[in-house]
Chains A and B, each alone.
Chain A
C-alpha cells in the first residue's frame, strides 16, 4: 500500500523540509516505522522509548484519529492519507 504522509511544519526541518512524503506499508505502524527509518531525526519527537506514538501527537488516517480506530494497528488502504498533528500551544508571547 502506498500512502501520502503529511508532515506538520514543526517536524519538516527533520524531513529535509518536505511537507509530504509517499511511503509504503500495510498498517499505520509500518508507515511510521518506514518514516522514522528514512528520517531518523523524527523518531524522538514522534515516539517514546517503547516506540509508541507520543500522547501529544495525533495520527489521522484521512479524517479519523487512529486512537478511535485500531491505534497503530489500523490498516491502510492504497490512496489513504496519513497526517501527523502535534499539539501546539503558541499564541501569546
Chain B
C-alpha cells in the first residue's frame, strides 16, 4: 500500500513521529476497530480513531439521536436528532476523514450475534451503557482473543482498563465478578453524568487502541485507571488475573457466550 499525496499531508504529524512513522500509519490504515455504543464514550473514540486514519471503524448502536444526548455525544448534532445514531456517526466520521470505511451496525448487540460481529475486527472498544452488554462483550472478546478497551462513566467519575484475559492479564469478570442487580441502585438517567467525562475517558480509550495497533508503550492491562473529576485525580489500582475466574481462570465454568444484554445500568 502506498500513500497518496494527500495522505502524506493528512498524517504528516504521525509520520514524523519515529514511533509511528510511515509503517505505523499504514498499520493504522489497515486496522479494524469495533466500537460498542455511539454515545458519550463512542463519540470521542470514533472521532479520534477516524482522525488517526484507522482504516475500518465499525459502530454498533440501535438507538436514535435524542436531544438529551447532545450534552455529551459529540458525533451527533441538532440536525441529526431523530436519526439513527450509527448513520449520524457515519456522516460525521466520513466527512472528517473519507479514508475511513465506517461500518454502521444498527443492531442490538446480543449473545447470539456478538461473535459474528467481533470476528472481523482487531480491537474492540466498549462504551456501552449496561452491565449485561459488558459481560457479553467481555466473554466474546475473550473467546475470540481480541483486546477489549473498556471505559465507563457515571456522575463525576470514569474508569478505563484494557482487558486481555486470554493472556496473563485479567478479564472484566476478574475485575467485577458480578453485576449489580437491577433496582438496587439508581439508573444512569437518574444518576446523571458530567458530559465532558466522555471526552476524558473516551480519548484515553482511543490512545490505548492506537498503542495496541502500533505495539507501542505500556498497555493499561494490569491496572484500572480511575478518574475523579471533582477531586481532579487520576489513580490506578492493581487488577490481578483471578485464578478462580469463571471465564479466564484455571477451571472455567463459562464455555460460551450467553446472558442478556438488557440489564439496567447501575450505581
| Chain A residues with a Cβ under 8 A of chain B | 8-10, 19, 44-45, 54-56, 58, 60, 63-65, 67-68, 83, 85-93
Which residues of the other chain, B, contact A91 by a CB distance below 8 angstroms? Answer: 37, 39-42, 126-129, 151-153, 198, 201
Output the least CB separation between A46 and chain B (Å).
11
Q: Mark B12-46, 1 if CB is under 8 A from A, else 0.
A: 00000000000000000000000011111110000
Q: What are 30 sample pairs from A and B whose C-beta atoms fall under 8 A apart?
A: A9-B155, A9-B229, A10-B154, A10-B157, A45-B267, A56-B131, A56-B176, A56-B179, A56-B180, A56-B267, A58-B176, A63-B236, A65-B238, A83-B237, A85-B159, A85-B226, A86-B180, A86-B267, A87-B180, A87-B266, A88-B159, A88-B267, A89-B134, A89-B154, A90-B188, A90-B191, A91-B41, A91-B153, A93-B69, A93-B265
Output the least CB separation between A21 and chain B (Å).
13
Complex A-B, nearest 7 residue pairs according to Cβ-Cβ distance, in ascending order: A92-B37, A92-B39, A92-B129, A55-B178, A91-B41, A87-B176, A91-B127
Which residues of the other chain, A, contact B40 by a CB distance below 8 angstroms? Answer: 90-92
Contact A10 B127 (CB under 8 A): no
Known contacts A10-B154, A68-B240; is-contact A89 B230 (Cβ 8 Å): no
Contact among A54, A63, A90 with B153 in the assembled complex (CB-CB below 8 Å): A90
Chain B positions 84-131 with a Cβ under 8 Å from a chain A Cβ: 126-131
Closest to A83 in B: B237
Chain B positions 131-165 with a Cβ under 8 Å from a chain A Cβ: 131, 133-134, 151-159
Output the least CB separation between B66 and chain A (Å).
9
Contact A55 B177 (CB under 8 A): yes
Output the least CB separation between A7 and chain B (Å).
10
Which residues of the other chain, B, contact A88 by a CB distance below 8 angstroms? Answer: 152-154, 157-159, 266-267
Known contacts A56-B176, A63-B236, A87-B131; is-contact A93 B189 (Cβ 8 Å): yes
Contact A83 B235 (CB under 8 A): yes
- Once the chains are docked, how many angstroms separate the CA of A42 from the CA of B134? 25
